[in-house]
Chain A
Amino acid sequence: DVKVTQSSRYLVKRTGEKVFLECVQDMDHENMFWYRQDPGLGLRLIYFSYDVKMKEKGDIPEGYSVSREKKERFSLILESASTNQTSMYLCASSLPRVAGGLSNEQFFGPGTRLTVL
């Protein structure tokens, strides 16, 4: 069974702490993504990576950074956590997008519910 795993299901941190969220996929996918999901705001893309050591900003990168040192692992870093970063964080992976409509469906992890106090 293909899998995307995230390091924690629930996490509680204090304002100002540095927070690491880890994501690992076992499908040898080139692409990896970090999203946050908030009620009423849907799913929003924070950062993505299409190759090792490559990263691209998504729609809401402010306050976050990422690291991709190995193909299977994509880390999301909150340099100084704030209360407005309390959210559900979802990691996903996929094959590269190709022309012709072959599905590059994204496979999601179970999510990490982060609370910043």
Chain B
Amino acid sequence: DAKTTQPNSMESNEEEPVHLPCNHSTISGTDYIHWYRQLPSQGPEYVIHGLTSNVNNRMASLAIAEDRKSSTLILHRATLRDAAVYYCILRMYSGGGADGLTFGKGTHLIIQP
């Protein structure tokens, strides 16, 4: 399976943008880049996903490098509620069935008031 590499932790100030990097140099052409996050004492939640083009949703933006070997999750204006562990994972879509998620250690995002 293609692997992702993320910094162990990052710190940011409230109401400032946060850029969370992810390296995936062995990504294949059929791998989609997904981000999940896990708030303290909660189950993980989906944030965003993309293939080649940059993506925006109500939670975040995803910027994907042209060679697809890296991507960045952007929180435009971090709040204290965004303090969580953020996981970048690759998922292949081939149609049908089900597949489990495999999380690495992720990035522990700390937000300072």
Contact = CB atoms under 8 A, between A and B. Distances in A.
Interface of A: 4, 30-31, 33, 35, 37, 40, 42-45, 48-50, 56, 58-59, 90, 92, 94, 96-101, 103, 105-111
A96 B97 contact: yes
B55 to A, nearest CB: 10
B60 interface: no
Contact of A103 (B44, B46, B100): B46
B32 to A, nearest CB: 6
A108 B104 CA distance: 17
Interface of B: 32, 34, 41-46, 49, 51, 93-105
A105 B46 contact: yes
Determine chain B's interface SS by DSSP, over half rule. loop
A50 B42 contact: no
Given A50-B97, A97-B93, A99-B94, 17 more contacts: A35-B101, A37-B103, A43-B44, A43-B102, A44-B102, A45-B102, A50-B98, A92-B44, A96-B96, A96-B97, A97-B95, A98-B95, A101-B93, A107-B45, A108-B43, A110-B42, A110-B43
A56 B32 CA distance: 23
B103 A43 contact: yes
B43 A90 contact: yes
Task: Please name the 4 residue pairs, one residue from A and one from B, whose CB atoms are nearest each other, closest first.
Answer: A108-B43, A45-B100, A105-B46, A99-B95
Nearest to B95: A99
B97 A106 contact: no
Q: Which of B43, B49, B104 has the most CB of A within 10 A?
A: B43
A106 B46 contact: yes
Given A45-B100, A45-B101, A92 B43 contact: yes
B42 to A, nearest CB: 6
B96 A106 contact: no
Nearest to A37: B103
Contacts of A30: 98
